[in-house]
Structure 1
Amino acid sequence: MRQNPSFVLGDTAELRRLIEENPWVTLVSSTPEGLVASHYAVLLDDTREDLTIVGHVGKPDDLIHRLGERELLVVVQGPHGYISPGWYGDVASVPTWNFISAHLSGVPELLTADENLAVLDRLVAHFESGMAQPRMMWERPNDAGYIHRLEKGTVGFRLTPTRVVAKRKLSQNRPDEVVETIIGELDAGSGAYADPRLAGEMRRDLDARRSSR
């Protein structure tokens, strides 16, 4: 990802928030057979305060990626959306795309069966917590035999990134009044490009920049 000093995202707390709020990631590996990509949910390692993530892949994706043998790229994609030049006012301009994204790279550590079970349990609990009647992994009608068979079909991993490239492009190069207009258009709730999540990220960023002046 091409970096621009104006859009660098380097704050660990903000990167952790990005991962927490956007757990569906893309895993990319370079193998002798060519590039391969898979898509899985990950969580931050709850024993660490850095950007270490845990997750799993279904077999045979572990073999396809040669998981644990070489570098893995994890792409975290936050809110993103189209920005119309009409929102800039009467100035020469072209369309662009605002977004937040992070690339985490490193060689993953493979988890033991027990560690993998714990991660699978956490994943289910994390996402089921938003349900009116959560159904956890170890609850009936699941039984222990079913859960252990499920685990054997997956390979868990922990990745502590050795390289992080992250970018937050939210119209920081535009005057505050233009950013306010863009936020209003995205937050309008109607139109082809309305996106309240992206509007919220732009508002958060604008408020932070204003408070630091």
Structure 2
Amino acid sequence: MRQNPSFAMTDVTELRRVIAQNPWATVIATGDDGLIASHYPVLLDPDRDDLTVIGHVGKPDDQVLHLGERELLLVFQGPHGYISPSWYGDVRAVPTWNYTAVHLAGIPEVIDTEANLRVLDDLVAHFERMLPQPRLMWQPPNTEEFVRALEAGTVGFRLSPTRVSAKRKLSQNKPDEVVENVIAELDGAGEYANPALAAEMRRAHEARLARRG
């Protein structure tokens, strides 16, 4: 991802927030026939406070991706959306796309069966906890035999990235009044309303104003 200093994200707390809020990752590797991409939920490692992540792939994706042997690129896509030049006022402008993205790259560690079971348990709990009556992985009618059979069809991994690239392109290069108008348009009821992107822009804008004092 080409980097622009104006849009760079480097704060680990913010990177962790984006990853935690957008766990559906694109997993990219160099396969035997060229680049290959898969899609899996990936979580921050609960035992770490850095950018280490945990996840799993289904067999035979582990072989296709050469899991544990070759570098993986994990892409986490945050809020994104179309920005109309009409929102900038009466100035020369063209459309653009605002977005937030985090890229983590490294050779993952393939974890053992018991660690993979914990990863699967964490994944289920992470998403089920939002429900009024969550169904956890070990909860009946699931049996241990059933859960272990499912685990046997997956391969778990832990990735501590050796390369990190993150970008938050949220109109930081525009005057304050333009940024505020774009946020208002995204928060409105128009064709390109996008409350999630508006919230991400507002967060970045308020942080920028705070740094100015």
| TM > 0.5 | yes
Determine the C-alpha separation between the residues in 2 that align with 1:139 and 1:191. 44
**Structure 1 residue 2 and structure 2 residue 33: aligned?**
no
What SS does structure 2 have at the residue aligned with 1:104? Answer: strand
Q: 2:206 corresponds to which residue?
A: 207
Length, aligned pairs only: 212
Determine the C-alpha separation between the residues in 2 that align with 1:91 and 1:2. 27
Amino acid at match of 1:195: N
Q: 1:46 corresponds to which residue?
A: 46
Determine the C-alpha separation between the residues in 2 that align with 1:32 and 1:117. 29
TM-score normalized by the length of structure 2: 0.99
Determine the C-alpha separation between the residues in 1 that align with 2:180 and 2:47. 39
The answer to whether the 8 Å contact 2:111/2:155 transfers is yes
TM-score normalized by the length of structure 1: 0.99
**1:142-153 alignment, distance < 5 Å:** 142-153=142-153
Determine the C-alpha separation between the residues in 1 that align with 2:194 and 2:101. 16
Amino acid at match of 2:193: A
Determine the C-alpha separation between the residues in 2 that align with 1:212 and 1:120. 40
Displacement after TM superposition at 1:157 (Å): 0.2
Displacement after TM superposition at 1:31 (Å): 2.1
Determine the C-alpha separation between the residues in 1 that align with 2:191 and 2:39. 27
RMSD: 0.5
Displacement after TM superposition at 1:89 (Å): 0.2
Q: 1:193 corresponds to which residue?
A: 192
Query: Identity over the aligned pairs, expressed in percent?
Result: 63
Identify unmatched segments of 5+ residues in structure 1: none
Amino acid at match of 2:199: G
The answer to whether the 8 Å contact 2:32/2:64 transfers is no
**1:1-213 alignment, distance < 5 Å:** 1-188=1-188, 190-213=189-212
The answer to whether the 8 Å contact 2:25/2:42 transfers is yes
Determine the C-alpha separation between the residues in 1 that align with 2:190 and 2:202. 19
